[in-house]
Amino acid sequence: MSARLASLELGLIAAIGFAAVTSVCLALAWPWLRARLAGVHPALRARLVWLAAIAPGALPALLVALCFVPGLLAAAGLGHDHCTHHPGHAHLCLKHASIPLTRAGMGLLALAAALLAAAIVPEVVSLVRTRRWLARLPRRAMRHADDVEVVESETPFAFAAGLLRPRTHVAARLLESLPAPQLAAVVEHERAHARRRDPLARLAARVLSRAHLPWVRRALLSELAVATEEACDAEAGRRVGDRLAVAEAILAVERLFAAVPAPAGLTGFGGNSVAERVRALLAVEPQAPPRQGYRIAAALACALGVAGIDPLHHLTEHLLALAARLL
Amino acid sequence: MRRHMLGRLEVAVLDHLWSSGLAEVRAVHAAVGAARGISPNTVHSALERLVRKGLAERRKAGRAYQYRARLSREEWMAHGLERLASEVPGTPADTLIAAFVDMTERAGETQLAELERRVRARRRRARKERG
């Protein structure tokens, strides 16, 4: 097996280790984190919960990529090649030979590949089916709002759909049934979903959260759904200048749905987030996070990542060597 | 009712059956197929698919078959939620669309009435404070 392939396999094993550590840490921290997030603005809450949801999938990939940076810099002549100074242990380097993999290591890799396929395939199927369903919807542009599509349907739905350029869809039934202020609230809510690219964020969260413990994943995705809806409610309230109109629209749409005969097996009374959303709209809106705050946090994370490359690289190599001896 | 996904042609054919009541393939083709540039055989296949899906029925009339819808337009519309939920893969709230309210889970009547009462009270208070 070539040194390059062996190094990549070591990287995958390191990623599994990082994912396991992240998953366990977040499982332990989630009750504490959830309590702290209760009074936070829903836009920030949604962002933090999303980061927690994707962490076991995204963080290992990022950390492993950082581990390979010293080797890549050395290969490009931009850094010092240290591999020859540490013979006899694993090297996360595409140039130098690494220790050979054991059967247990290969088994772990096969399991990781199977889990990855199990996470991605259902989402791809769902994506294709949703696109087909959307393509079949009979629709027209909304008057005075080119970004909104009116779907000729008696079911009183409104939704944003599309991954890269989400579009707002509103059923003709809603146009006929809701008074203007409530209709504006519905449209602004869905536009907020589209601006935030929530369908894409949701897809990423569903795929990358697979490495969480199942009950932690369920709790995170549920919290993410509520926080996202509340964030869009808050934005719709700001744009129409009336948070109560948003609450009234939610209840009016819920009433319209209640009038449609619901199929057995699909109805879960009291199981949706309507009550939480309306109560949030009746309460005073928490202070919105400053936009500058996101940039500062991102800059700090980048600085921390750059500063931590070398220690992370060496620590990971030593841990891999230890794991190889144990396996 | 069984859940089925319908293609655009099937929806158009069903729509024609609702308008005409009883129709032969030739009439359905004249109304729906000719403008689309498709053959009577394609329209016949769409009608047969609707029969197989339980949405239309046929009976022999001389040498040809006559078709009619098994559900009225109103009955079909009444199943809108079921149709929507079955045609969107999985639970709509969990898929790739961000819905205004969850399409498959309803708040209970008591809870809904209580929330409406609170919002009305808040609206009255806001009006009083303004005026």
pLDDT at A325: 73
pLDDT, tens only, A177-224: 899 999 999 999 999 999 999 989 988 998 899 889 999 999 999 899
pLDDT at B42: 93
Q: Which is it for strands A145-151 and A167-171: parallel, antiparallel or unpaired?
A: parallel
Beta pairing partners, A160: A168, B98
* Residue-range domain boundaries for chain A: 1-101+298-327, 137-261+270-289
Angle between helices A243-259 and B109-130 (to 10 degrees): 150
Interval A30-45 mean pLDDT: 91
Whether A22 shows a pLDDT value over 60: the answer reads: yes
Shortest alpha-carbon distance between residue B72 and chain A (Å): 14
* Residue-range domain boundaries for chain B: 8-73, 90-130
pLDDT, tens only, B15-49: 889 888 899 999 999 998 888 889 999 999 999 99
Whether A53 shows a pLDDT value over 50: the answer reads: yes
Phi and psi torsions of A127, nearest 5°: -60, -45
Cβ distance of A274 and B89 shorter than 8 Å: no
Q: What is the ipTM of this complex?
A: 0.74
- Cβ-proximal residues to A212 (8 Å cutoff; 6+ apart), any chain: A23, A26, A27, A53, A56, A220
pLDDT at A279: 92
Strand, helix or coil at A145? strand
pLDDT, tens only, A99-130: 666 676 677 778 878 888 888 888 888 788 77
A193: nearest CA partner in chain B: B98
Which of B5, B78, B111 shows the shortest C-beta gap to A275?
A: B111
Higher pLDDT, B97 or A215: A215
pLDDT, tens only, A239-263: 999 999 999 999 998 888 776 644 3
Cβ distance of A257 and B106 shorter than 8 Å: yes
Beta strands in chain A, from DSSP E residues, in sequence order? 139-142, 145-151, 158-161, 167-171
Whether A311 shows a pLDDT value over 80: the answer reads: yes
Cβ distance of A262 and B99 shorter than 8 Å: no
What CATH class has B8-73? mainly alpha
Interval A131-149 mean pLDDT: 75
Residue A150, both tokens: 């009116």
Cβ distance of B98 and A202 shorter than 8 Å: yes
**Model confidence at A312, in pLDDT bands (50, 70, 90)?**
confident
Whether B90 shows a pLDDT value over 50: the answer reads: no
d(CA A130, CA A127): 5
pLDDT at A232: 94
d(CA B124, CA B118): 10
Cβ distance of A133 and B100 shorter than 8 Å: no
Angle between helices A214-240 and A180-196 (to 10 degrees): 130
What is the reported pTM? Answer: 0.72
d(CA B84, CA A173): 14
Q: Please give the span between the terminal C-alpha atoms of chain B, in angstroms, as a whole number.
A: 53
Helix (H) or strand (E) holding A282: helix A274-282
Segment among A142-156, A195-209, A221-235 with least mean pLDDT: A142-156
